[in-house]
Amino acid sequence: MIWLSHLPVRLKLKLLLALIFCIIPAAGSAQPLEVDKNFYRLIDSLEFYIDDEQSLTIEQLINNKTAPEFSRPKGSGRLWLAPNTVVWLKIQLKFSEAAQGQRYIISALGGGYQDIRIYRPLPEGGFEEFITGDKYPAHQRELKIPKYGFVIDPQAKPMLIYTRVLNKNNMHLMHWLLMNDEEFNNISERYSVINFMVYGALIGVVLFGVGIGLTLRNKNFLYFSFYILAGALLLLPFDGIGFYWLWPNNPEFNQSVVPLLTLSVFIGRLLTVYGFMETHKHSPTLAKLTRYWLVFLGVCLFSVLCGLFQLISLKLMAGLWLVSMLIGIALNVTAIRHRVSLAWPFFFVLLLPIMVAMTQIANEAGWINIGVAVVLLNKLAFILHAFLFSIFIALKIKQEERSAHVAQRDHLTGLENLNILTARFKKTMAVAQRYRWQVLVMFIDLDKFKPVNDTYGHEVGDQLLKTVADRITGSVRNIDLVSRIGGDEFLVIQSEYKNAMDIHATAEKIIDELSRPFTINNQSITIGASIGVARYPHHGETLDELMSAADKAMYEVKRSGSHGVAVYGEAEEWIGD
């Protein structure tokens, strides 16, 4: 090394700089990724070049004179791109000796990859090209999976890999991963289990809604089922599952399915809220506005079906979503103001998709970085949304049943009121006419009830009426109808009456039960009953006619001293003490 001392100073400086540049890579160039583990996120090792003119070729890239300068991703690796922009990716992999005995896979998660062309170096030189993407049939994939994956067979020397991607929208380099076969299979299995649970749960919710809708003949539940089904199907394209499993040979349909299903979700959700919030009952103006908006969404949906989906841009879809959500919230707030049952819970359920959408927007804008987890978030949030919707719908059904039960029952005794009794009497009459049976109508009036109220008060009187109702119900058959029609008056309708002995048996049993002492608030109370009986068809064709006849027969018992039974028009059949 003594000869260096004889060199000029300027030459020494040149040699030093050359040595430095040989040791230290040029600024901005990526270091080869040393591969010796199972799993890598490639964002820190990828370089990209945006080919606005879409004219760059692999031959130009490998030619040092014509190769453009690649850039390193910044921050979260989000590339803000115009629609249908070509991006070239470059990565250099250096496999350790242990890694060279395995097979690795580059996986492209996310979506919107219209055309992907990967160029892998061959051992003998040159590059191997493989073409796939959303605009090609699903069988044109190297790995038979919903997402895109490319096999990398490690070589002893560093491997320079290029990828040309025609992307539909923005691109996130965080979605590009490298993993070995074992890790890839483990992730795929977990992913399959999650999908099975997600879609199984959503199918269950859909069947729940359809079953209730068909059983109750309520179109609101069918709207709800349509909404959940459209939402579940909308999740499929984001995972690549829909394209891979449902329409693998129809890439054209894959381009239109997202706006189609998105509009279906808007329509289904708005119909569900509109129906369950009963908007047409309390807010006609808002109901009319909602119907007009639904018609407009239907026109947009029809345009998608007719192949005009190109006119529905991402910004327009965002606007449709925003207006639909605002109308849904307005429907809910109006329902809250008019005290529609369960309007408050529905309001909070409706807020869940808004919060998820805001999270997606924040992720897209780079304010937060959850990467591909946004798809999983969508799934979990939609399942929670669907289940909460189902729970509140079930509660609403129960509440409506309770309200209907209260409306159909006497508030004190719980017996059916006269309106329900009249409806059931018509069915009883139809059966009686078919089998030529007679029907008995018993009009029961309590004896000595007024003194109970006067002596012990109305609270004791109410308790007595409840116990009377229980004793009358226990004295007749399950198929017989019992109702409280006023103060201390009850009505019994006995079907399948065949002979006169049935009158005596039932009437005597009722009188015996009501003659036994009642114990109310430690007070022993004794009353009785007067019963008038009318028979169909002898004493009338309608319930009003039969009740009038039975009422007259009951007053015959009262005039004769009470506590007995009389059949209308047959005084000789009076039964008494």
Q: Which two tokens stand for residue 508?
A: 């005597």
What are the pLDDT digits (tens) for 53-83?
Answer: 999 999 998 887 778 999 998 877 788 888 8
Give yes or no for residue 21 having a pLDDT over 60. no
Residue 443: pLDDT band with limits 50, 70, 90 = very high
Residue 2: pLDDT band with limits 50, 70, 90 = very low
Distance from C-alpha of 430 to C-alpha of 432, rounded to nearest angstrom = 5
Q: What one-letter code names the amino acid at 388? A: L
Q: What one-letter code names the amino acid at 439? A: V
Residue 27: pLDDT band with limits 50, 70, 90 = very low
- E strand or H helix that includes residue 465: helix 458-475
Q: What is the pLDDT of residue 327?
A: 94
Q: What is the pLDDT of residue 340?
A: 84
Residue 557, CA atoms < 13 Å, CB-side half-sphere: 32
- E strand or H helix that includes residue 546: helix 543-559
**Range picked from 206-215, 426-435, 465-474 for highest mean pLDDT:** 465-474
Which of the two residues, 307 and 412, has the higher pLDDT score? 412
Q: Which two tokens stand for residue 449?
A: 């009830």
Q: What is the pLDDT of residue 349?
A: 83
Q: What is the pLDDT of residue 158?
A: 93
Q: Which of 450-454, 509-513, 568-572 has the lowest mean pLDDT?
A: 568-572
Q: What is the pLDDT of residue 290?
A: 95
Angle at 571 (CA atoms; ends 566, 575), nearest 5 degrees: 45
Mean pLDDT, rounded, for 323-336: 92
What are the pLDDT digits (tens) for 126-170?
Answer: 899 999 999 899 889 999 888 899 999 999 999 999 999 998 878
What are the pLDDT digits (tens) for 293-317?
Answer: 999 999 988 888 887 655 566 778 8
Strand order in the sheet with 570-576: 481-486, 489-497, 438-447, 528-536, 564-567, 570-576
Distance from C-alpha of 270 to C-alpha of 293, rounded to nearest angstrom = 10
Q: Which of 306-310, 407-411, 447-451, 492-496 has the lowest mean pLDDT?
A: 306-310
Mean pLDDT, rounded, for 464-469: 92
Distance from C-alpha of 231 to C-alpha of 246, rounded to nearest angstrom = 16
Q: What is the pLDDT of residue 253?
A: 82
Give yes or no for residue 369 having a pLDDT over 70. no
Q: What is the pLDDT of residue 429?
A: 82
510, 445 Cβ separation under 8 angstroms: no
Distance from C-alpha of 551 to C-alpha of 413, rounded to nearest angstrom = 21
DSSP assignments along 308-323, one per residue: -GGGS-HHHHHHHHHH
Q: Which residues contact 110 (CB under 8 A, 6 or more apart)?
A: 171, 172, 175, 372
Distance from C-alpha of 523 to C-alpha of 412, rounded to nearest angstrom = 20
Q: What is the pLDDT of residue 432?
A: 78
Give yes or no for residue 99 having a pLDDT over 90. yes
Give yes or no for residue 260 having a pLDDT over 80. yes
Distance from C-alpha of 30 to C-alpha of 43, rounded to nearest angstrom = 11
Q: What is the DSSP letter of 245?
A: I
What are the pLDDT digits (tens) for 341-361?
Answer: 778 888 888 888 778 777 766
513, 526 Cβ separation under 8 angstroms: no
Give yes or no for residue 24 having a pLDDT over 50. no
Q: What is the pLDDT of residue 308?
A: 66
- E strand or H helix that includes residue 272: helix 251-276
Q: Which residues contact 11 (CB under 8 A, 6 or more apart)?
A: none
Q: Which of 83-87, 267-271, 341-345, 470-474 has the lowest mean pLDDT?
A: 341-345
- E strand or H helix that includes residue 342: none
Q: What is the pLDDT of residue 128?
A: 94
Q: What is the pLDDT of residue 499?
A: 64
Mean pLDDT, rounded, for 38-48: 92
Q: What one-letter code names the amino acid at 141? A: R
Neighbours of 480 (CB within 10 A): 19
Strands 564-567 and 481-486: unpaired
Give yes or no for residue 575 having a pLDDT over 50. no
Neighbours of 357 (CB within 10 A): 16
- How remote is the C-alpha of 397 from its chain's centroid? 16
Selected catalytic residue, list 239, 447, 488, 551: 488
Give yes or no for residue 500 having a pLDDT over 70. no
Mean pLDDT, rounded, for 363-370: 63
State percent of the chain over pLDDT 90: 33
What are the pLDDT digits (tens) for 511-550?
Answer: 899 999 999 888 899 999 999 999 888 888 888 899 999 9
What are the pLDDT digits (tens) for 166-219?
Answer: 988 788 888 899 999 999 999 889 888 888 888 888 888 888 888 888 887 888
Residue 105: pLDDT band with limits 50, 70, 90 = very high
Q: Which two tokens stand for residue 335?
A: 């329902």
Which of the two residues, 431 and 300, has the higher pLDDT score? 300
Q: What is the pLDDT of residue 220?
A: 85
Q: Does the annotation count 488 as an active-site position?
A: yes
Give yes or no for residue 17 having a pLDDT over 60. no
* Sequence-ordered alpha helix ranges (H) in 277-372: 279-282, 284-305, 314-337, 343-365
297, 320 Cβ separation under 8 angstroms: yes
Residue 573: pLDDT band with limits 50, 70, 90 = very low
CA dihedral 267→268→270→272, nearest 10 degrees, is 160
Residue 23: pLDDT band with limits 50, 70, 90 = very low
Q: What is the pTM of this model?
A: 0.68
Q: What is the mean pLDDT of the chain?
A: 84
Give yes or no for residue 424 having a pLDDT over 50. yes
Residue 1: pLDDT band with limits 50, 70, 90 = very low
41 dihedral zone (left: phi>0; alpha: psi -120 to 50; beta): beta
Give yes or no for residue 16 having a pLDDT over 70. no
Neighbours of 253 (CB within 10 A): 13
